[in-house]
Amino acid sequence: ESNGRGVPVLHPCVNRSGDTCRTEGTALRLGLEWVRGFTEAARRRLRVSRERRPFSGLEDFLCRVPTQRPEAEALILGGAFDFTGRTRPELLCLLGAAYPVFRERARGAHIDDLFIGDAPAQAPWAVPSLPEFAEAERAWREWHALGVCVGRHPVSFFRETGAFPGNTLTAQAAEQAKGPVRVAGIVAARRTTPTRNGQPMQFITLEDETGLVECVLFPDTHARHRGVVRELGPYVAEGRLDGQYGATTLTVDRIRRVQRPGMRS
C-alpha cells in the first residue's frame, strides 16, 4: 500500500521485517520496532527462532516465541501476520483460543527444542471464517498498533463522513490560512510543561492525512480543557495561527474530541 507521499509502505511482517525499516525493491517495509509494545527482548527471540526457519503462521509463532498477549495482538493488528491469508478478525479469534495452549508449550520448551525438526505448530481446531474489518476500522486499529498509517489515514474517514464541522481545514490548508481557524487531527505527540510562574501549559501535535499542526494551550485554555486530550482522538482544535521563528503554531481557544459511530478508539 502507499502512504500517499510517493513511497510504497509495507506492513511489518514476522518473517520479513528487521527491527528497523528496510527497503524491498522500491517499497519500504516497516520494522518490528514500530509495533507498539513489542519489546526488544521479544524481537530478539523472534530473530533467533526465525534464523532456523520462517514462521508458518500465528500458531507456529506463539509456540516458538514466548510473547505477551498484547504484543501478539499488536502484531496482528499491525499486519505482521497478513501473509497467512487469514483476516485480522480471524487471527484475533485464533489468538484468543490458541494463546494459552501455545504459550505454555513455548514456556516449557528448551530453546533447542524450538527448532530441531519440529513441524510447524497448528491449532487442533477450526478457525471460523470472519470478514476483514471495514477499511476505516482497520486503519484505526493499525494506527493504534503501529503509530503510523500504512494505507489511508484514519482522519480521512472522519472527514469524508462529515464528522467534522464544514469549515474544518486540513493541516496543509491551515498553513496558508489567516485569522481564526479550525483544524482536526489525531494526537501524534503531546507535552505539558510549567510556565515561569508554575502554571501548566500544553503542547500538542495534531496529524491528519496532509501533515502536522503544532498546537499550544496556554494556562487559561489548558485549565478549561484539562483532561480532554487523553486519547489519540481525533480532536478538533479552534484558535489562531501564529508564525514565529519560522514555525506556524495554532494557539488553541477550544479543543474537543470527535466521536463517530462505528469507529472505536
pLDDT tens for each residue of 186-200: 888 899 999 989 899
To which residue does cell 503542547 refer? 203
Q: Is the pLDDT of residue 89 over 90?
A: yes
Return the C-alpha cell found at 203.
503542547
Beta bridge partners of 250: 215, 241
User: What integer pLDDT is reported at residue 123 of this predicted model?
Assistant: 62
Read off the pLDDT band of 74 (50, 70, 90): very high
Three-state SS at 104: helix
What residues does 212 pair with on adjacent strands? 207
Q: Are 49 and 38 in contact (CB under 8 A)?
A: no
Q: Where are the alpha helices (DSSP H) in the chain?
A: 40-52, 58-64, 69-77, 88-108, 135-146, 154-160, 171-174, 219-224
Beta bridge partners of 236: 184, 256
- Decide: residue 160, CB within 10 A, 0-12 exposed, 13-18 middle, 19+ buried: exposed
SS3 state of residue 175: coil
CA distance 87 to 141: 13
The pLDDT, as a whole number, for residue 111 is 44
Confidence of residue 227 (pLDDT cuts 50, 70, 90): confident
Q: Give the pLDDT band (50/70/90) at residue 3.
A: very low
Contact 1, 8 (CB under 8 A): yes
Q: Which among 225, 155, 139, 157 has a CA at the least distance from the CA of 190?
A: 225
* 129-145 pLDDT tens trace: 999 998 888 988 998 89
In which band, very low, low, confident or very high, does the pLDDT at 105 lie, cut at 50, 70 and 90?
A: low
The pLDDT score that the predictor gives to residue 116 is: 39
CA distances from 85 to 57, 64, 132, 198 (A): 9, 20, 11, 55
